[in-house]
Amino acid sequence: MRRIKIMAHLVAGFPSPEGWKAAAAALRNAGVEILEIQIPFSDPTADGPDITAASEASLRQGFRVRDIFSCIAFGRELGFEEIHVMTYANIVHRYGMEQYIRDMADSKVTGLIVPDYPIEDDHGFYRTAAGYPLAAMPVAVPTMNSTRLRMLADLKPVCVYAALRQGVTGRKTEIDGETFGFLEKLSEMRVYAGFGISHRDQLKALESRAYAAVIGSHITRAASRSSSPEEVYREVDAAIHQCVY
């Protein structure tokens, strides 16, 4: 039996509004516990080619930031244990930081991920979020030095997104002794480990070292293979079973 939770990453509105719903339903019906919904952004810094292309496609089809709330509501209807929303700082600032956090909290979002908010210059994001019933999830990377790790710990985050390597999403990630050493430094936090997760052996290696494994590009590639909601469901179902079970 799987001993690590799965957080599946979907770009909101991709490959279409109905296709997105089909992908989310396939993931929940396959036993995925946690949903991470990305608000599409035109100039991402952490996204690999698959997720970047998905964001661009969603924006071309007319996705707007306010549309995220219908995605959150649908995820809640499906019964995901947790729903996290990920986007970039530019969107948060244009929306209004505190209003963004408040609206997400009102929508019963579990947590927020803004990867381009560095812990030393977050414009008050983590402090503001601490006043609401959700978790602001900072991003940790293997190259963080001891000073920045202490700064991270000083935020007292409930959970942390551990990017298992430098660079962008999508490329295969080797999980080795260095990875384990990095995760050990985060052991006082609830760790959601991602970047390049697409195989069962990676999940097995992360068991007992992370609370959840994040699967994103692998699912996005599957969702991109068809525009039909029925086909999207089948492709995503097959992809998550190939990776997890």
Question: Which residues are the active-site residues?
Answer: 36, 47
From the list 127, 147, 149, 129, the residue with the least C-alpha distance to 139 is 149
Q: CA torsion, points 243, 191, 91, 41, in degrees to nearest 10?
A: -20
From residue 55, alpha-carbon distances to 66, 81, 101, 226 in Å are: 15, 25, 22, 16
From residue 138, alpha-carbon distances to 90, 201, 236 in Å are: 16, 26, 28
Element of type H or E holding 85: strand 82-86
**Is residue 109 within 8 Å of 134, Cβ to Cβ?**
yes
Write down the residue that tokens 């009102």 correspond to: 106
- Residue 67: CA count within 13 A, CB half-sphere: 18
Edge to edge, the sheet with strand 82-86 lists: 135-136, 111-113, 82-86, 34-38, 5-11, 212-215, 190-194, 159-163, 139-140
Question: Which one-letter DSSP state was computed for residue 64?
Answer: -
Q: Which amino acid is at 84?
A: H
